[in-house]
Structure 1
């Protein structure tokens, strides 16, 4: 078959000499010029799933540790080791450190630092997260009926309310200021972790109480933070201008806020 001088020969020549330009090469290989959309990859959603699945698993394991099993033996042994190495440890600092991340957040606001959201939306998220976390902790304490390590007659050990509050405030601090400032997140979660450690060193909680409390605090803050924009869009546009936020303090070290509509 003789190709010289034929249109097919010209197309083949252009395909080799000018592969990047439109011409006969595109006619011969149309699939090369069409970019098919990349199929969605389910694995990209896994981090968000793990952020929910792991804390829920830790809370579930902590709940079942109240029965006689491997988890119960583990927490008993860890408590014995802790008391052996820190027999005289006693502090009330954990009553205040659980609120430190939220104090830090408002301190950054006062210093002029801009966060992801305004002070009123952030305060609303804090109030809702605190209510959700406190409600979950209170009901789990009532349902689980877990004995405290230091008082055999006190069955309000699981989960740790102090640790839940600490991690809830640390998570809000991270979402508000920590994404572009890693040091803020590190500071918040370090204080939250120290709060949980002090609850164990004070012999007020088992390790499973602390881990479950941290998980509940984290989940409460994350749930409210993610859902708030969708809920805010349903409210009247001028409602934010009529809101007044007032801090509150109750005996026992409880810090909160009251939202007033003017």
Structure 2
């Protein structure tokens, strides 16, 4: 049996997993003493210790576990237990704030742009990353909802519970806020991820989602933002080269339908 504090402990864990890695002062100035030979002789398993690998593997594992919880197993029992404890502790909780809080980190980013705060990229690249990340996250979430066919805790006839779209959007915007303004300003990252975690908590407190829905949604939002943020510079650098090989032709079909064909030369 889970204690009533199980849900708060989970939220703290979720915040810690999503938070950016801390760097010790002066670590960046430390000289690199490893020679090429020592690097080549390092065990192959060292790649598992790389932060990028862990920051990808952990969210993917959480999404996978959440998907497996749709069947009757230990994970399913866990989410049922958490839901029961949450309802017992907050039986009358109800709010619509989670419909708006998921957008708060993005609004905060544009607010920081407005007051002239310098970030990693300009407002146009940031907006492009936001739009592409949102499209990627929405596509993954909608398809998983269709495939998993998981019932909502408050609506047994609604099978669109897994994963949580609200939580995915909240962690997506919090991650972009961190990448844009939080590298040298930890308070920005902490504020963004706190709002995102609160959004996931409210989805559970409103009895709209299971614990596994929220964890998976947070993971998808984080991964979508990170993927687009990392790939965007490379894509932009290759756009002029790609543009020379692409040809867009209009097409017309019987009945007045209009379309387009993309040709790669």
Shorter chain as normaliser: what TM range?
0.7 to 0.9
1:50-199 map, 5 Å: 50-199=54-203
Q: Following superposition of structure 1 onto structure 2, how do residues 21-40 of structure 1 map, counting pairs within 5 Å?
A: 37-40=36-39
Q: 1:108 to 1:54 in 2, by over 3 A?
A: same
1:212 paired residue number: 216
Deviation at 1:161, TM superposition (A): 0.1
In structure 2, C-alpha distance between the alignment counterparts of 1:37 and 1:112, rounded to whole Å: 43
CA distance in 2, matches of 1:207, 1:158: 10
| Aligned with residue 225 of structure 2, among 198, 221, 227 | 221
Query: After alignment, is 42-51 or 67-76 more displaced?
Result: 42-51
User: What secondary structure does 1:123 align onto?
Assistant: helix
Structure 1: any 5+ residue segments left out of the alignment?
1-34, 240-262
> What TM-score results when the alignment is normalised by the length of structure 1?
0.75
1:6-26: CA deviation from partner (whole Å, max 9, x where unpaired): xxxxxxxxxxxxxxxxxxxxx
Q: Residue 148 of structure 1 aligns to a residue in which SS?
A: coil
What is the total number of aligned residue pairs between the two structures?
Answer: 204
| Secondary structure at 1:39 match in 2 | helix
TM-score normalised by length of structure 2: 0.75
Whole-Å separation in 1 of the counterparts to 2:69 and 2:86 = 18
Map 1:3-42 onto structure 2 (within 5 A): 37-40=36-39, 41=42
- 2:27 matched residue in structure 1: none
Q: Secondary structure at the match of 2:119?
A: coil
Offset of residue 144 of structure 1: 0.0
CA distance in 2, matches of 1:125, 1:36: 37
Superposition CA RMSD, Å: 1.6
In 1, the alpha carbon distance for the partners of 2:209 and 2:232 equals 32
Tell me: CA distance 1:141–1:39, structure 2 relative to 1, closer, same or farther (3 Å).
same
Q: Which has the larger radius of gyration?
A: 1
> Per-residue deviation at 1:39?
2.5
Post-superposition Cα deviations, 1:33-84, rounded to whole Å, max 9, x if no partner, equal xx96352256366211000000000000000000000000000011000000
